[in-house]
């Protein structure tokens, strides 16, 4: 099973491109302090809005800060937002979905009705209201994106559990006296992990994109801290004079989200025996 | 008082002042070399209501200003002249003002404007049921009465210097507003005033159209119509300008210097530049013992490089602020203590106050605590946010770690500034033409309580006395002496580190003629702007409904 | 069937209550009370006035009382009055924004379906081909690009440089003077970019869904059988596979109906379109509580209704669901 999964993934060229993209991004984010030629918040009144050059490989922004350095540090923030937000939503979704799917009856009804309830609200409306009304610190952004996007995972896990819990090996484990917790964690979860993994991968991409949308409204990560979203927002008033300010962060977001999506799709395809 | 020249736009949005269109007094359509055409203006926000007294947003004030007049108005030199009042008289004891109103002025619906309307407007302002934030000036009036249809008199309990300027208040029609809840009144959606333009159409969130008042008492305005387009995004506004979808807008310093120099812009637009009536500053919260120390505040002012900010952020299009008033105006005092950029001197002052540069490059006190603070600023002002980056950088060089936080306007104001929950705040004030009441609210020690405007908690008995005295003096030269002294004390004590006044950078399509650029802006003679017949681009077609 | 319907309707009640509760709870998180949008401070707004406003809006009452009052009004379909100085009914404000938002959403939904379905089918049938890969990347670019960036670039190209399309707004200044046909053309040219871009953005979801449905169907036995019988490939795909792959897509169409009233703040800001998204956003920024709650309740309520309709439709089509519902 394991090896055939990797083989299937390997054969999918787009998925591999996505995988390399994701790895590259993680590396740059991790190595940002080593790679960045300048501190990310060092302004220079004599170097405002300079085009790319040897001195400033990606040019400078409207306070004369080096764009390359800000992009590198921004990669950290954007990735952090994506990973933590997707982490929160996945964890929450798995827990609620598992409980609902395993225990059934009124527990399930309660959780699933709440899930439906949350799904009724237009997602961006809800996030917007909460973030604007609280305070758009990085932590809040990650938590709120996480708290408003767990519903898909919860439904997914519940559905998997509903079918899995009647399998023979689960029944066997129970008759051998395994506790509920043990059955959930040891026997059910590992078999439901595949779709969760796909959802989490796509979740990272979604959160990065969402942060850039919030940044446009001034509700994303707040300057002077750099995120790709707020660098891009900063660029929009000078779109024509300073193309480098919008092209680089725009492409960075596009390629990152694209990579995560291709990877996620690839994993899904590779996991689905019917599609092999 | 609530002030704003009709066109101080977008970035330096001024909230306030009922400064209406001020126009040369001579009347008659003969003053228009040509009539016709429409001016299209962009605004980032829609108006909330067309009754300006119950709103505080810039768009509402700006748009409704076309429809209303005050008893008085400011002329291009920012001195008060008659508007609906032909003349006025102040009594010997400085307690009574008598306004002699123009006759034959009519509201847009044909009803005559009389002293009864003026009285109603005062009553409206002091009525506790009116949800207005501007009642203070009018509550100083002890008694107001109609002497005859065209004579209106107010009496103050004590001499009140800003009193006269408060009568730039827009005059609402009594016959439409009396006895009504202003929030429910049709006037809030459909203004009826005496002004040069009458209301035509309002598509909420999209556009607002005004057309010329042919019976305006100063003669019909030359342009047939004014259209406001609500475009929430600055990038879109600039693109619309580039595609000639707009006639009048405001540029950012970068756009002014780099983009609007192209041949296309040179051929199609005229750019203007004047010092805006607002300044940016850092307010030091004196409830923090560190900022209570005057040496620390002075050291901060020496450690920050204002010239660098003006160069790097405003691309040179701004002026250093030395105090709370506008350079070049009558009340401004240039001879006050100045704080040049001098990090050595700053370190010296810090040392005197007990803070020394430690070997690790941080400023520390005897107990070894580092000097850190959080500088908060509001969202929506890019220049100010960028200035924060330079401030952070310069203070880091003298060993201070500044954490810069940008906060959305409403919570910024209500949760941080009003509650005094900040170390230092980077903010801007507007400078009204008559500075007295605002200096009193911002620097008098009685206004230190949460929610009031003395946000730093600054208290000086010497200054308090001067501010109180100044409100009671009506004689100009005497007031000037007091104001000079007030500015010296403020500069000496540095409750704020004064940063800069940005330049306002309007741009108007070339076809508009008759624009007069003055130190206060370009809009004072708006009703005489015109477009020669052959160059007219947007004929206004009246749709009678 | 009647029983099933009753049960579903009854279940909606607690959901509706839950929706009002969540909407109200969101508001209670908020620091700050209603105010106008400003950028600079005016030194002459007195604080007395602020208290006055507070009382006026009833914000000095206990939270539960506020909620109860609001709920009572809501039961009579009264969304209350906006906190903005114009004090207009929230319902009026929403209604005047609905037509434009709904028309943009309907058009872009249609366009999305029209483009995404063929793309998905083609990708599935020619799985692994270069064109399949190209389509995959194309639809994901739409999904992955930050929307405001994409919109601004498109406006710059088509509006400023090529001058083919108007840049922003929904109608030209001389719109009222145009003929009937001219008006239609005017709207079309203004709505072209927003509609095009919002369908580009949502292309990925639907076309990928269609692709995987199609792949699943193609792998089924009856398709293999059909092929084995010697039917031509085209006939197999069109007559047998497509019909079955389209079934679940129709549910998606049903489910996206309620989403039609929600507007995108980002597109609306960039294109200067006076729609629901911008209304809601401005309401949030000004702490216009009745408006925020009104939008949330209305949006969520309609979604609920849409779900119900989709379920009923499904139940009508599939008797198994009906039985289960009993």
Distance from CA of B18 to the nearest CA of A (A): 30
- Domain spanning B96-176, CATH architecture: Alpha-Beta Complex (3.90)
* Whole-number Å distance between alpha carbons of B133 and C52: 9
CB < 8 Å to B312, chain A: 43-46, 48, 63-64
- Residue C20: inside a domain: no
- CA-closest candidate to residue B110, choices B35, B51, B194: B194
Q: Do A224 and B382 count as a contact with CB atoms less than 8 A apart?
A: no
Touching subunits of B (3+ CB pairs, under 8 Å) are A, C
Render the burial of B203-242: b for 16+ CB within 10 Å, e for the rest: bbbbbbbbbbbeebbbbbbbbbbbbbbbbbbbbbbbbbbb
Of C38, C88, C163, the CB nearest to B57: C38
A111-149 residue pLDDT tens: 988 888 888 777 777 787 777 767 677 888 899 889 888
Helices (H), B361-457: 382-397, 409-411, 436-443
Q: What share of chain B is helix, strand, coil (3-state, %, to 5)?
A: 30, 25, 45
Nearest CA in chain B to A234: B382
Kindly report, as residue ranges, where domains of CATH 3.40.190.10 are found in chain B.
Answer: 29-67+195-273+505-535
Q: Do C85 and B51 count as a contact with CB atoms less than 8 A apart?
A: yes
Q: Do A63 and B313 count as a contact with CB atoms less than 8 A apart?
A: yes
- Whether the pLDDT of residue B10 is over 70: the answer is no
- Provide the pLDDT for residue B185: 86
- Residue C266: inside a domain: yes
- Residue C136: inside a domain: yes
- The whole-chain average pLDDT of chain B stands at 88
Cβ proximity of C284 and C292 under 8 Å:
yes
Nearest CA in chain C to A231: C149
**Interchain CB contact of B60 with C (< 8 Å):** yes
- Residue C223: inside a domain: yes
Q: Beta strands B96-101 and B372-378: pairing type?
A: unpaired
- Provide the pLDDT for residue C257: 64
- Residue A199: inside a domain: yes
- Residue C24: inside a domain: no
User: DSSP 3-state assignment of A84?
Assistant: helix
Tell me the pLDDT band of B518, cut-offs 50, 70 and 90. Answer: confident
Which among A38, A39, A43 is the top mutation candidate for probing chain B, defined by the most B β-carbons within 10 Å of its own β-carbon? Answer: A43
Give me A123's structure tokens.
Answer: 């997602």
Q: Do C145 and A229 count as a contact with CB atoms less than 8 A apart?
A: no
Q: Give the residue numbers spanning the domain of A111.
A: 2-28+82-275
**Interchain CB contact of A236 with C (< 8 Å):** yes
**Could you give the C-alpha distances from B151 to B88, B98, B111, in angstroms and in order?**
9, 7, 18
DSSP character string of C227-239: HHTT--HHHIIII
User: Under an 8 Å CB criterion, which residues of B touch A?
Assistant: 233-235, 238, 252, 254-255, 258-259, 308-309, 311-313, 315, 379-380, 382, 385-386, 388-390, 392-393, 404-408, 411
**Interchain CB contact of A134 with C (< 8 Å):** yes
Q: Residue C272 belongs to a domain with what CATH number?
A: 1.10.3720.10
Q: What is the ipTM of this complex?
A: 0.84
Cβ proximity of C295 and C275 under 8 Å:
no
As for how many domains chain A has, the answer is 1
Nearest CA in chain C to A240: C156
- Domain spanning B278-502, CATH architecture: Roll (3.10)
Q: At residue C168, what are phi and psi to the nearest 5 degrees?
A: -145, 175
**Interchain CB contact of C7 with A (< 8 Å):** no
| Residue tagged 């109180």 (tokens) | B468
Helices (H), C174-263: 180-218, 221-228, 233-235, 243-256
Q: Do A133 and C31 count as a contact with CB atoms less than 8 A apart?
A: yes
Kindly report, as residue ranges, where domains of CATH 3.10.105.10 are found in chain B.
Answer: 278-502
* Whole-number Å distance between alpha carbons of A43 and B393: 7
**Interchain CB contact of B242 with C (< 8 Å):** yes
**Interchain CB contact of A216 with C (< 8 Å):** yes
* Whole-number Å distance between alpha carbons of C94 and C99: 10
Cβ proximity of B328 and B77 under 8 Å:
no
- Residue A178: inside a domain: yes
User: What angle is formed at CA B420 by the lines to CA B414 and CA B426, rounded to 5 degrees?
Assistant: 85
- Give, as one character, the DSSP assignment of residue B518: B
- Residue A70: inside a domain: no
Q: Which helix (H) or strand (E) holds B402?
A: strand B401-407
- The whole-chain average pLDDT of chain C stands at 79
CB < 8 Å to C282, chain B: 45-46
- Provide the pLDDT for residue C33: 54
CATH number of B29-67+195-273+505-535: 3.40.190.10
* Whole-number Å distance between alpha carbons of B147 and B128: 25
- Provide the pLDDT for residue C152: 92
Q: Do B414 and C274 count as a contact with CB atoms less than 8 A apart?
A: no
Q: Residue A174 belongs to a domain with what CATH number?
A: 1.10.3720.10
Q: Do A119 and C269 count as a contact with CB atoms less than 8 A apart?
A: no
Residues of chain A scoring pLDDT < 50: 1, 276
User: DSSP 3-state assignment of C164?
Assistant: coil
| Residue tagged 């792998």 (tokens) | C219
**Could you give the C-alpha distances from A126 to A57, C36, C292, C303, in angstroms and in order?**
40, 21, 10, 14
* Whole-number Å distance between alpha carbons of C257 and C47: 47
Tell me the pLDDT band of B2, cut-offs 50, 70 and 90. Answer: very low
Poorest-confidence range of A9-13, B397-401, C28-32?
C28-32
Nearest CA in chain C to B539: C174
**Interchain CB contact of C168 with A (< 8 Å):** no
* Whole-number Å distance between alpha carbons of C122 and B407: 49
* Whole-number Å distance between alpha carbons of B310 and B279: 12
Give me C302's structure tokens.
Answer: 């309609």
- Provide the pLDDT for residue C317: 62
Q: Do A125 and C143 count as a contact with CB atoms less than 8 A apart?
A: no
CB contacts < 8 Å between A and C, how many?
135
As for how many domains chain C has, the answer is 1
Portion 59-118 of A in contact with C at CB < 8 A? 113-114, 116-118
Cβ proximity of B463 and B489 under 8 Å:
yes
Render the burial of C117-131: b for 16+ CB within 10 Å, e for the rest: bebbbbbbbeeeeee
Portion 255-274 of A in contact with C at CB < 8 A? 255-258, 261-262, 265, 274
B301-354 residue pLDDT tens: 999 999 999 999 999 999 999 999 999 888 999 999 999 999 999 999 999 999
Distance from CA of B441 to the nearest CA of C (A): 7
- Residue C212: inside a domain: yes
Q: Which helix (H) or strand (E) holds B73?
A: strand B72-74
Distance from CA of B353 to the nearest CA of C (A): 32
Residues 6+ apart with CB under 8 A from B14: B3, B4, B5, B8, B58, B276, B277, B278, B430, C40, C42
Cβ proximity of B474 and B159 under 8 Å:
yes
Kindly report, as residue ranges, where domains of CATH 3.90.76.10 are found in chain B.
Answer: 96-176
pTM of the model: 0.85
Q: Do C26 and A130 count as a contact with CB atoms less than 8 A apart?
A: yes
Poorest-confidence range of B51-60, B525-534, C219-228?
C219-228
Distance from CA of C46 to the nearest CA of B (A): 6
Portion 128-167 of C in contact with A at CB < 8 A? 133, 136-137, 140-141, 143-149, 152-153, 156
Q: Give the bridge partners for B404, in sequence order.
A: B375
Most confident of A130-144, B61-75, B180-194: B61-75
The more confident residue out of C152 and B183 is C152
- Provide the pLDDT for residue B495: 96
- Provide the pLDDT for residue B30: 56
Task: For chain A, give the number of residues.
Answer: 276
Tell me the pLDDT band of C173, cut-offs 50, 70 and 90. Answer: confident
């Amino acid at each position: 099973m394991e090896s055939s999964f990797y083989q299937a993934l390997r054969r999918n060229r787009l998925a591999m491109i996505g995988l390399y993209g994701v790895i590259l991004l993680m590396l740059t984010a991790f190595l940002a302090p080593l790679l960045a030629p300048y501190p990310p918040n060092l302004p220079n009144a004599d170097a405002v809005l300079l085009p790319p050059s040897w001195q400033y490989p990606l040019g400078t922004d409207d306070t004369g800060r080096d764009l390359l350095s800000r992009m590198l540090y921004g990669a950290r923030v954007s990735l952090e937002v994506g990973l933590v937000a997707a982490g929160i939503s996945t964890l929450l979704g798995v827990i609620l979905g598992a409980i609902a799917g395993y225990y059934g009856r009124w527990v399930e009804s309660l959780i699933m009705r709440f899930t439906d309830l949350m799904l009724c609200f237009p997602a961006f409306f809800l996030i917007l209201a909460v973030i604007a009304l609280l305070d758009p610190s990085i932590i809040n952004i990650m938590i709120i994106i996480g708290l408003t996007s767990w519903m898909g995972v919860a439904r997914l896990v519940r559905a998997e559990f509903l079918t899995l819990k009647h399998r023979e090996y689960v029944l066997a484990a129970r008759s051998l006296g395994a506790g509920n917790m043990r059955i959930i964690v040891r026997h059910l979860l590992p078999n439901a992990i595949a779709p969760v993994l796909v959802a989490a991968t796509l979740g990272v991409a979604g959160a990065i994109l969402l942060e850039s949308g919030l940044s446009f409204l001034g509700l994303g990560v707040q300057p002077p801290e750099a995120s790709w979203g707020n660098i891009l927002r900063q660029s929009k008033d000078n779109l024509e004079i300073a193309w480098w300010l919008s092209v680089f962060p725009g492409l960075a977001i596009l390629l990152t989200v694209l990579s995560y999506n291709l990877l996620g799709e690839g994993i899904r395809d590779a996991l689905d025996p019917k599609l092999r | 008082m609530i002030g704003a020249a009709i066109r101080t736009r977008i970035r330096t949005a001024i909230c306030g002042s009922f400064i209406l269109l001020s126009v040369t007094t001579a009347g008659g359509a003969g003053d228009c070399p040509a009539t016709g055409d429409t001016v299209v203006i962009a605004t980032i926000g829609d108006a909330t209501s067309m009754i300006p007294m119950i709103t505080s947003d810039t768009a509402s004030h700006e748009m409704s200003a076309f429809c209303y007049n005050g008893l008085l108005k400011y002329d291009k030199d920012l001195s008060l002249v008659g508007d609906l009042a032909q003349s006025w008289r102040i009594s010997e004891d400085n307690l009574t003002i008598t306004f002699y109103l123009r006759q034959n002025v009519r509201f847009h619906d044909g009803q005559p404007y009389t002293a009864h309307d003026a009285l109603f407007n005062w009553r409206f302002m002091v009525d506790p049921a009116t949800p207005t934030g501007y009642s203070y000036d009018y509550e100083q009036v002890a008694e107001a009465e109609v002497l005859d249809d065209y004579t209106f008199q107010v009496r103050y309990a004590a001499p009140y210097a800003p009193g006269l300027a408060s009568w730039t208040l827009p005059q609402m029609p009594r016959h439409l507003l009396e006895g009504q809840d202003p929030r429910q009144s049709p006037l809030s959606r459909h203004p009826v005033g005496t002004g040069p333009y009458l209301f035509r159409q309002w598509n909420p969130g999209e556009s607002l159209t005004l057309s010329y008042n042919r019976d305006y008492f100063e003669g019909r305005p030359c342009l047939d119509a004014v259209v406001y387009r609500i475009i929430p995004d600055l990038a879109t506004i600039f693109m619309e300008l580039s595609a000639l979808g707009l006639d009048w807008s405001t540029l950012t310093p970068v756009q002014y210097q780099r983009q609007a120099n192209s041949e296309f812009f040179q051929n199609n637009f005229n750019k203007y530049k004047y010092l805006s009536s607002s300044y940016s500053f850092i307010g030091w919260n004196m409830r923090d013992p560190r900022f209570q120390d005057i040496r620390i505040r002075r050291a901060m002012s020496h450690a920050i490089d204002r010239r660098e900010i003006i160069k790097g952020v405003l691309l040179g299009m701004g002026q250093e602020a030395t105090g709370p008033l506008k350079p070049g105006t009558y009340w401004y005092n240039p001879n006050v203590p100045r704080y040049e950029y001098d990090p050595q001197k700053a370190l010296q002052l810090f040392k005197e106050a007990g803070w020394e540069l430690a070997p690790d490059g941080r400023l520390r006190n005897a107990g070894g605590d580092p000097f850190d603070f959080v500088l908060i600023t509001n969202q929506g002002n890019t220049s100010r946010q960028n200035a924060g980056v330079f401030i952070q950088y310069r203070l880091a060089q003298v060993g201070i770690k500044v954490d810069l936080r940008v906060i959305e306007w409403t919570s910024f104001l209500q949760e941080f500034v009003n509650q005094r929950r900040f170390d230092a705040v980077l903010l801007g004030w507007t400078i009204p033409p008559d500075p007295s009441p605002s200096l009193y609210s911002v620097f008098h020690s009685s206004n230190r309580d949460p929610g009031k405007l003395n946000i730093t908690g600054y208290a000086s008995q010497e200054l308090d006395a001067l501010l109180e005295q100044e409100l009671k003096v009506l004689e100009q030269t005497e007031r000037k002496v007091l104001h000079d002294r007030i500015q010296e004390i403020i500069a000496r004590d540095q409750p704020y580190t004064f940063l800069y006044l940005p330049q306002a950078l309007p741009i108007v399509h070339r076809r508009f003629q008759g624009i007069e650029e003055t130190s206060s802006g370009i809009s004072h003679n708006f009703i005489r702007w015109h477009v020669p017949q052959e160059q007219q681009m947007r004929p206004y077609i009246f749709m009678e409904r | 069937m009647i029983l099933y319907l009753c049960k579903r309707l009854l279940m909606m009640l607690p959901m509706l209550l839950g929706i009002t509760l969540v909407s109200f709870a969101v508001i209670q998180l908020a620091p700050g009370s209603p105010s106008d949008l400003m950028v600079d401070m005016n030194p002459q707004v007195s604080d007395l006035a602020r208290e006055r406003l507070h009382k006026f809006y009833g914000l000095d009452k206990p939270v539960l009382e506020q909620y109860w009052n609001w709920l009572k009004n809501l039961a009579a379909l009264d969304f209350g009055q906006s906190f903005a100085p114009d004090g207009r009914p929230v319902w009026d404000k929403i209604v005047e924004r609905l037509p434009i938002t709904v028309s943009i959403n309907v058009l872009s939904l249609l366009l999305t379906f029209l483009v995404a379905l063929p793309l998905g089918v083609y990708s599935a049938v020619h799985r692994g081909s270069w064109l399949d890969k190209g389509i995959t990347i194309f639809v994901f670019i739409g999904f992955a690009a930050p929307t405001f960036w994409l919109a601004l670039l498109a406006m710059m190209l088509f509006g400023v440089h090529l001058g083919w399309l108007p840049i922003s707004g929904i109608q030209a200044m001389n719109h009222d003077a145009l003929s009937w046909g001219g008006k239609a053309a005017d709207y079309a040219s203004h709505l072209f970019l927003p509609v095009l871009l919002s369908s580009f953005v949502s292309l990925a979801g639907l076309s990928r869904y269609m692709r995987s449905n199609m792949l699943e169907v193609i792998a089924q036995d009856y398709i293999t059988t059909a092929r084995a019988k010697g039917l031509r490939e085209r006939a197999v795909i069109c007559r047998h596979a497509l019909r079955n792959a389209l079934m679940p897509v129709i549910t998606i169409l049903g489910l996206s109906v309620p989403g039609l009233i929600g507007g995108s703040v980002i597109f609306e800001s960039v294109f200067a379109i006076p729609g629901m998204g911008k209304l809601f956003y401005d309401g949030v920024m000004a702490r216009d509580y009745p408006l925020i709650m009104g939008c949330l309740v209305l949006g969520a309520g309609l979604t609920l209704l849409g779900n119900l309709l989709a379920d009923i439709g499904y139940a009508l089509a599939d008797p198994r669901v009906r039985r289960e519902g009993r």
